[in-house]
Structure 1
Amino acid sequence: MGLQNYADVYSNFDPAALEAEILDGSLDGGLNVCHEICDKWATDPKRVALYYERDDGGDGVLTFAELKDKSARFANYLTSQGIGKGDRVAAMLPRGPELLVVIAGTLRAGAVYQPLFTAFGSGAIEYRLERAGTKLVVTDPTNYPKLTEVKNCSPVLCIDASRINAEKAGANVPDFQHVLADQKPDFAPVMITGNDPFLQMFTSGTVGKSKGVAVPARALMAFYVYMKYAIDLRDDDVFWNVADPGWAYGLYYAVVGPLLMGHATHFNPGAFTPESTYDMIRKYKITNLAAAPTAYRLLKANDHVLPEGENLGLRVASSAGEPLNPEVVNWIKNRHYCPVTDHYGQTETGMTCCNFLALEHPQRPGSMGYSSPGHRVVALNEKNEEVGEGEVGQISVDVKASPLFHFDGYTWGEKDPFVNGYYLTGDMALCHGDGSFSFSGRDDDIITTAGYRVGPADVESTLLEHAAVAESGVVAKPDEKRGSIIKAYVVIKGDQQPADDQSLRDELQDLVRRRLSTHAYPREIEFVHELPKTPSGKIQRFVLRDRAQGEPVS
């Protein structure tokens, strides 16, 4: 079967026709996201929504019918707690069936699902719960202790709560399984409009705290387009997106996207290793794989793990989060006998610029691709004028020419990223003049490490919590496997000089792991007497960044 031509699909794209084709509800007249991603597929009692692995080595299956039942029970519980339309409900859970139930049940009640990455420390959790006014947090015994350190924590519902109640005197945490068993399995979905939020995300910035991104229900249209044309998810595919649903790429395209198409998704809560990845692909006969470049780089670095000549049966692979190295592209082709394509997007917008596996278009090595149907992506110069072939500019979206663009601005007005009808991403790209672009770097100081985007201000403010730290500057340092690692240049208070530098480094790293996140801690810490600053006192991170890039690659 030949591929459709990209130019034809892009120029003839019809949002109204797409809405009528893929949604039972209406963006203007009303819809329910849980119905769109679950109920409409639950008429077949055998249709599978989720295949999952367990930490204990077991596995399981969750059908759409079972998900409908359990999500209705959870929605009834939310209603009993006075939680409803527009309220934020969070989960801090590993990848498993309970996570899917919380997401679906929240959406069934017309509430807004808020992910909490399981590696977050108490400080990161505290900020997000306070900012969003979160009404409930669902967690498990592994993650529950972090919530005890959160000031004014939202009410908590815990899986296997008996373990917590037995270990902590006076604890009376309600149990997730018992709560669901006590509720009725019927709940009429609460209708919302396309402009109402259904997800509450947070994204990192360079100044101040993480910014809120409320994703409206009309984003379902863009999610579908990405899954259909960029991921090329077909009915006969077995799909696994390795990304964690605690982040946008995992939540948008490992949960909402495939379920919207009535397609099963796969969860593996274990740590990513080459061995576990290949075991998962073999066991479930995965044909369509999505992951961050870090994952592919790790597989390439451990080439010996895959027996020479073994074909795992992958049909296509996708990559997102940071630029995909040509060396990795060639390795995937040679060792896995399938193409891997690079895609670009943000938490705010979803994926907007891609190399489309389902469409025919010119391929340019190292390129992040072309505008997604329903979007017009451009690059702007410093005067906010569109640049031409061979010029570098800031990646932007022409809002009026992008009917599937769904970002309405940061939830609490933390920043205004719109200028003259364009949304400015803060990323830079080279314009090729044929509609395609190649990523060239960040316009600010965001650090992309192992596929995660980290704002240096968050790390710096956490380091300042230590009594010995006067100030710090945090930047990216090149790293062969992770793309970049986080490096901190730290100034110690005059009266707090440590007897042992390494002990202090260990303390600071542990502080950031505990208070912020395990993925955001500085793998390298260098103690310095002062930081480079502007006359007005702002840290010149570009000086530190240049310095780190000049050091030996870690």
Structure 2
Amino acid sequence: MRDYAEAVRSFNHHGAVDAALHGTLNALNACIECCDRHAGSGRVALIWEDREGNSARYTFEQLQGLAARFANVLRQQGVGPGDRVAGLMPRTPELLVTILATWRLGAVYQPLFTAFGPKAIEHRLEQSHARVVVTDRGNRHKLDQVTGCPTIITVGASAGELDFQHALDCADSTCEPVLRKGDDPFLLMFTSGTTGPAKPLEVSLKAIVAFQGYMRDAIDLRPEDNFWNLADPGWAYGLYYAVTGPLSLGHATTFYDGPFSVESCARVIDKLGITNLAGSPTAYRLLIAAGKDFAAPVKGRLRVVSSAGEPLNPEVIRWFADELGVTIHDHYGQTELGMVLCNHHGLQHPVHLGSAGFAIPGHRIVVLDEQGNELPAGQPGILAVDREQSPLCWFAGYHGLPTKAFVGKYYLSGDTVELNQDGSISFVGRSDDVITTSGYRVGPFDVESALIEHPSVIEAAVIGKPDPERTELIKAFVVLASGHEGSAELEETLRQHVRQRLYAHAYPREIEFVSELPKTPSGKLQRFILRNQEVAKQQAQQATPASA
């Protein structure tokens, strides 16, 4: 294992680009990087499995041929360099063929998550000006409600519609990749804020180098690994690190076409011999809730596990170590940045519970105060990227929109963190999630972690509820494990549990038992929804006369 400090010292941007990419920053093609350059090796690129247990394997060479054919299909529909092609499909081989074919033309792939409704799809297609949207029969009906929908190609199309397989079979098998510049986009992503519609951002071709660095140093992807990223390619973590990252290194990726469940996860890990797993804390907490039902068939299979999407609770770390005998590491990133702050499986450095880790080589991550000054260890502030000293930072702003995230040479993440004495960084929370109570600043993550450690709790979300005496009081929304029921006695037990686990002022003064928590389709907790609900309740109570 390489030493972290040595890896940072020896990092050379130009050398990394030359070693990582087949072309140069003035002549790149993502299909070459993620497919063509590995064709002829005989290596498998895609391992596909569905819920019924059907499976298939595709080599890089097979995908190269399929991508060339479908690129010609797209070209017949007017797609050229820089144009957008949207994909609204589950994790199937046709999805990967669509992505690679889009890239082959020098065009830009736009993901549409299959859980999106027509309005979310319409907004994204309207913003992207996509020329073509590729979908399947299960999602085709949503596009009937999209105003101004572009040309539709459907896997398993109805009579009279453009069918994916028929068009593929009729297409020419020769299509030379179109070379583009490193600053040209190959992905168009959308990211949601706390207000306003989702904002578009372009991911440039040079980001492939950064994605490779994450796979190598943080994921520790090795040639002998069987790799599975649980994230859907409809979202950044899946598209960056279940598609682009592993394929660009010539490594196979795994697509499971089916809903997430404890049974399916254990079955795929066991059947495919998965050794390197990546996913979200939400998924891992569900696995932990299953206990021995998941642990028994999986124990001894996994070499390393990585977590991204939200901070990793210490209880999850301990469970994976105790029950599965495997190390799980926390990784931090954003759609705008990719993963930039990690406990690296492939680099040797201190790892502390609650720490998001160290900056990935090629990035300088700092903590700023409200005036934009870099803070020393021990003082909470805003996580920021020093863009002038981060050669692998590719984010250039939102497409066609202004942003307040760039202040001087810094990109401001909007997340509150704290620099530790050893140079690692600990996550506190989103800037608008941090709770101020009785003069103290409390990160909701700490309280949530403490609650989850109690055997009666599966999930928890913590917010600051407006309070005239304390500025905010801490309120927790708790999902209970099977066999437990909410009661005043359990509320008090949980309060005392948190007080003992953390400190006196950080316990939840109010606890509400709920059946589920609001999340994004990718599983991220949406605390702002709970916070807005509480504000609305208070306003309604204040507007109601006392005699009512």
Q: TM exceeds 0.5?
A: yes
Unaligned runs of 5+ residues in structure 1 are 166-171, 450-475, 483-508, 534-538, 540-554
How far off is 1:445 after superposition? Answer: 6.2
Deviation per CA, 1:118-162: give whole Å up to 9, x if none: 000001000000001011100011101111111111111000003
Are 1:113 and 2:109 matched, yes or no? yes
**2-structure distance, mates of 1:176, 1:103:** 14
**2-structure distance, mates of 1:275, 1:230:** 27
In structure 2, relative to structure 1, the CA distance for the partners of 1:530 and 1:292 (3 Å cut) is: closer
**2-structure distance, mates of 1:405, 1:525:** 33
How far off is 1:207 after superposition? Answer: 2.1
Give the secondary-structure state (helix, strand or coil) at the position aligned to 1:138. strand
**2-structure distance, mates of 1:426, 1:528:** 23
Are 1:24 and 2:22 matched, yes or no? yes
In structure 2, relative to structure 1, the CA distance for the partners of 1:280 and 1:530 (3 Å cut) is: closer
Are 1:38 and 2:38 matched, yes or no? no
Deviation per CA, 1:30-49: give whole Å up to 9, x if none: 111100100011113x3111
1:15 counterpart (13, 33, 39): 13
For 1:417, the equivalent position in structure 2 comes to 405
Are 1:241 and 2:229 matched, yes or no? yes
Are 1:125 and 2:121 matched, yes or no? yes
Decide whether the 8 Å contact of 2:201 with 2:336 is kept in 1. Answer: yes
Decide whether the 8 Å contact of 2:51 with 2:264 is kept in 1. Answer: no
For 2:257, the equivalent position in structure 1 comes to 269
Give the secondary-structure state (helix, strand or coil) at the position aligned to 1:72. helix
Are 1:159 and 2:147 matched, yes or no? no
Alignment of 1:245-394 (within 5 A): 245-306=233-294, 308=296, 311-394=299-382
How far off is 1:100 after superposition? Answer: 0.3
Decide whether the 8 Å contact of 2:270 with 2:297 is kept in 1. Answer: no
Give the secondary-structure state (helix, strand or coil) at the position aligned to 2:243. helix
Q: How many residues align?
A: 467
For 2:166, the equivalent position in structure 1 comes to 178
In structure 2, relative to structure 1, the CA distance for the partners of 1:423 and 1:532 (3 Å cut) is: farther
Deviation per CA, 1:265-319: give whole Å up to 9, x if none: 0011211111110100000100000010111111111103136596241100000
In structure 2, relative to structure 1, the CA distance for the partners of 1:477 and 1:50 (3 Å cut) is: farther
In structure 2, relative to structure 1, the CA distance for the partners of 1:519 and 1:366 (3 Å cut) is: closer
Amino acid at match of 1:438: S
1:51 counterpart (37, 47, 54): 47
**2-structure distance, mates of 1:349, 1:529:** 32
TM-align CA RMSD:
2.8
In structure 2, relative to structure 1, the CA distance for the partners of 1:530 and 1:363 (3 Å cut) is: closer
Normalising by the residue count of structure 2, what TM-score does the alignment of the two structures yield? Answer: 0.81
Amino acid at match of 2:64: K
**2-structure distance, mates of 1:235, 1:422:** 36
Which deviates more from structure 2 when the two are superposed, residues 325-334 or residues 523-532? 523-532
For 2:56, the equivalent position in structure 1 comes to 60
**2-structure distance, mates of 1:196, 1:315:** 37
**2-structure distance, mates of 1:259, 1:478:** 40
Decide whether the 8 Å contact of 1:119 with 1:518 is kept in 2. Answer: no
Give the secondary-structure state (helix, strand or coil) at the position aligned to 1:188. coil
**1-structure distance, mates of 2:282, 2:3:** 31
Amino acid at match of 2:310: E
In structure 2, relative to structure 1, the CA distance for the partners of 1:435 and 1:524 (3 Å cut) is: closer
Give the secondary-structure state (helix, strand or coil) at the position aligned to 2:267. helix
Deviation per CA, 1:20-69: give whole Å up to 9, x if none: 11211001x2111100100011113x311100112443111111111001
Alignment of 1:532-547 (within 5 A): none
For 2:470, the equivalent position in structure 1 comes to none
Give the secondary-structure state (helix, strand or coil) at the position aligned to 1:306. helix
In structure 2, relative to structure 1, the CA distance for the partners of 1:91 and 1:479 (3 Å cut) is: farther
How far off is 1:530 after superposition? Answer: 5.0
In structure 2, relative to structure 1, the CA distance for the partners of 1:97 and 1:341 (3 Å cut) is: same
Decide whether the 8 Å contact of 2:342 with 2:360 is kept in 1. Answer: yes
Decide whether the 8 Å contact of 1:282 with 1:312 is kept in 2. Answer: no
In structure 2, relative to structure 1, the CA distance for the partners of 1:310 and 1:72 (3 Å cut) is: closer
In structure 2, relative to structure 1, the CA distance for the partners of 1:414 and 1:145 (3 Å cut) is: farther
Deviation per CA, 1:171-222: give whole Å up to 9, x if none: x320000011111111100001110000000000122111111000000110
Deviation per CA, 1:410-445: give whole Å up to 9, x if none: 012242310021000111111113221111110136
1:72 counterpart (68, 71, 75): 68
**1-structure distance, mates of 2:385, 2:339:** 12
Are 1:211 and 2:199 matched, yes or no? yes
**1-structure distance, mates of 2:535, 2:268:** 49
How far off is 1:480 after superposition? Answer: 5.2
Decide whether the 8 Å contact of 2:282 with 2:523 is kept in 1. Answer: no
Amino acid at match of 1:324: L
Which deviates more from structure 2 when the two are superposed, residues 3-12 or residues 298-307? 298-307
Unaligned runs of 5+ residues in structure 2 are 435-443, 449-474, 482-515, 541-548
In structure 2, relative to structure 1, the CA distance for the partners of 1:100 and 1:307 (3 Å cut) is: closer
How far off is 1:388 after superposition? Answer: 1.1
**2-structure distance, mates of 1:529, 1:437:** 32
In structure 2, relative to structure 1, the CA distance for the partners of 1:315 and 1:521 (3 Å cut) is: closer
Decide whether the 8 Å contact of 1:115 with 1:201 is kept in 2. Answer: yes
Decide whether the 8 Å contact of 2:295 with 2:324 is kept in 1. Answer: no
In structure 2, relative to structure 1, the CA distance for the partners of 1:23 and 1:388 (3 Å cut) is: same
Alignment of 1:81-92 (within 5 A): 81-92=77-88
**Bigger relative contact order, structure 1 or 2 (CA pairs below 8 A, ≥6 apart):** 1
How far off is 1:481 after superposition? Answer: 8.5
Q: Calculate percent identity across the aligned residue pairs.
A: 46
Amino acid at match of 1:15: H
Decide whether the 8 Å contact of 2:217 with 2:344 is kept in 1. Answer: yes
For 2:424, the equivalent position in structure 1 comes to 436
How far off is 1:115 after superposition? Answer: 0.2
**2-structure distance, mates of 1:219, 1:282:** 33
**2-structure distance, mates of 1:526, 1:202:** 23
Deviation per CA, 1:223-248: give whole Å up to 9, x if none: 01000000000011110001000000
**2-structure distance, mates of 1:281, 1:306:** 10
Decide whether the 8 Å contact of 2:189 with 2:236 is kept in 1. Answer: yes
Segments ≥4 residues shifted beyond 4 Å: 307-310, 445-449, 476-482, 516-533
**1-structure distance, mates of 2:321, 2:146:** 47
How far off is 1:113 after superposition? Answer: 0.3
**2-structure distance, mates of 1:288, 1:357:** 11
In structure 2, relative to structure 1, the CA distance for the partners of 1:350 and 1:307 (3 Å cut) is: closer
Which deviates more from structure 2 when the two are superposed, residues 439-448 or residues 13-22? 439-448
**1-structure distance, mates of 2:217, 2:239:** 18
For 1:453, the equivalent position in structure 2 comes to none
Decide whether the 8 Å contact of 2:383 with 2:412 is kept in 1. Answer: yes
For 1:5, the equivalent position in structure 2 comes to 3
Normalising by the residue count of structure 1, what TM-score does the alignment of the two structures yield? Answer: 0.80
